[in-house]
Amino acid sequence: MFGNPFAALSISIPPAIMQAYVIVMALLVVAGTLFDIVHKRSATYFFDNWRRFKGKAERPVGAGEMVSLAVQTAIVDVMASGEFCNARRRVTHLLTMYGFIIYVVTTIMLVFAYATPATPAPPAVAALWYVGMLMVCLGGYWFWFFIRVDVAAEGNSPFRFVRADLFIVALLLSATFGLIWAWAQASGSALWSYVFLALYLIATTVLFGSIPWSKFSHMFFKPAAALEKRVAEANGTMSNLPPPADAPSNFGGGLKHARHY
């Protein structure tokens, strides 16, 4: 079960094609993020904010303090998702985030370094590919069916879908179809293997190709926003960014913002 599914696939699809697909997905991420920055003027907003707060600063922030704030941002806001005050939301976010990272990294390793039966992947690497997708499914489905504000607090159907859901839905479908495809391939069911391979590729292409319309690029903007807020607080100005949406002090007014990552 924990074998490299891409090595088995190489019997019918050349590794070069699989590698080209991964490269195209990476280019879609870069192009989509740049388009999002230009179209929504996110970078302009943050740089303007940065200059404004710097001009109003009551005291300068030195290089050493800036490094310290950057490290705090990386550890607390990025690695530990400290923005989430609700413990369940933080756990689901961390499961999904680290599962996605493991999934992407191991996919690259399996496709580029161990793409054929002649180059068997270390069992730990192949196993981590499955573990990453299972973490995505556990965190993502837990969030989707039990924690989303419009489901848990507003009583809407968990199957209700809006454009803002595109990222999490595409990610969940990619991980789910990927797991089912690997299982079908390992069980020797050629027909179902190709069916779920096609669904896996469709969901994955939507995931990486829909960045201008999904929340994918937020993972790049949020660390910058968190750092900007820490610097603004350190130099005596206050950022105009709101507190965490699920913070107790902002719970009543932040419901509509708390439903997504």
40 C-beta neighbours (distance < 10 Å), count: 13
Give pLDDT, residue 32: 86
Beta carbons of 164 and 148 less than 8 angstroms apart: no
Q: Determine the distance from the C-alpha atom of residue 17 to the mean position of all C-alpha atoms in its chain, rounded to a whole number.
A: 25
Q: Name the pTM for this structure.
A: 0.75
Domain residues for the domain of 126 are: 5-257
Along the chain (261 residues), what's the average pLDDT of each consecutive run of 10 residues? 87 95 94 78 65 65 72 68 71 91 96 94 95 96 78 61 81 96 92 96 94 71 69 63 47 37 45
Short-list 180, 171, 159, CA closest to 203: 171
Structural domain tally of the chain? 1
Number of other CB atoms surrounding residue 192 within 10 Å: 15
- The per-residue pLDDT for 148 is 72
pLDDT given for residue 112 in this prediction: 97
Q: Rounded to whole angstroms, how far apart are CA atoms 250 and 92? A: 21
Q: Are 122 and 159 in contact (CB under 8 A)?
A: no
